[in-house]
Amino acid sequence: MWRSVTAVVVLAAVSGCTVQTAGTSGPSGTSAEPDPIHISTAPVETPDDPKLPSPEKPAQPAKDDEATKPPAPPPKVLWARGDQGRDVREVQARLRQIAWFFQAPTGTYGPATVAAVKGFQGKRGLPQTGQTDSVTWRRLLNMTSEPGKWELYAAGDQPAAKPDPRCMTGRVMCISKTSRTLRWMIDGRTLSTMDVRFGSQYTPTREGRFNVTFKSRHHVSTLYDTPMPYAMFFSGGQAVHYSSDFAATGYNGTSHGCVNVRDEAKIAALFAQVRSGDKVVVYW
């Protein structure tokens, strides 16, 4: 009999069953026949059993934050084609300092300004938009200096200076050397404004309060043999008159002491309104 039990145990071990240990006493606690051997047919669970839950997988590393960030917004556009004003004039003046803009500043962002900005951007590896954005402006600031008044207004068009107190009454040509402008005023009201230029340090335009002594529409200088159309004389041989040289070369030249006007249409209209005896005030 023990041989058969041994055989059963061996068979159970081989088949993967669980063997329950036999008891050593009967129900009465006295020595008796051993309890029958019970063989469980339930499968033995092992660590390799595929039915066991698999160990928890390690957490995947988070994706790189930089890769998931949205692209940076483009730089802010400050000035572009069609814009006008003093800021545009400064852009042009700064570009002119470094030989990208070859005209006198106008304060209007036109084709010449677009082309100059594109050239500046391309030279520095920036997108060639022709618009002055915040990045382009910062580079331009770093390469240039603050433009002076006459850089900004190299061709004129500067704002007229505040009128001298002597200009606030009557009919007066109010001429400022500071802003290089002439205001035609009647009783404190400005009717027209125009660019003017003056004599050199060797032939300066006199300052003070004067009166128009006479007018000469087709005057020619007897001293310099040069035309002085629409001449309105106020101090000896000094007069307010149209200058074709001023119209052609701007502030690159000077007069012989007269007050030159560059806009022929404006001085023609002024000549028609001014009378002999009207005031002329030349001041800083």
Where in 88-146 does DSSP place strands (E)? 132-133
DSSP 92-104: HHHHHHTTS--SP
- Give me the pLDDT at residue 57, please: 59
Q: If DSSP codes are grouped into helix, strand and coil, which group holds residue 175?
A: strand
Chain segment 200-222, per-residue pLDDT in tens: 999 999 999 999 999 999 999 99
- Give me the pLDDT at residue 11, please: 36
| Identity of the amino acid at 114 | V
Q: What is the pTM of this model?
A: 0.66
Low-confidence ranges of the chain (pLDDT < 50): 1-34, 37-40, 45-48
- Give me the pLDDT at residue 266, please: 98
- Give me the pLDDT at residue 157, please: 87
For residue 29, with 0-12 CB atoms within 10 Å meaning exposed, 13-18 middle and 19 or more buried, which class applies? exposed
Are the CB atoms for 158 and 265 separated by under 8 Å?
Answer: no
Chain segment 20-74, per-residue pLDDT in tens: 444 444 444 444 444 554 444 555 544 445 555 555 655 665 555 656 778 888 9
Of 215, 197, 227, the closest CA to residue 274 belongs to 215
**235, containing H or E segment:** strand 227-235
- Give me the pLDDT at residue 51, please: 52
> What span, in angstroms and rounded, lies between the C-alpha atoms of 180 and 197?
6
CA atoms within 13 A on the CB side of 130: 11
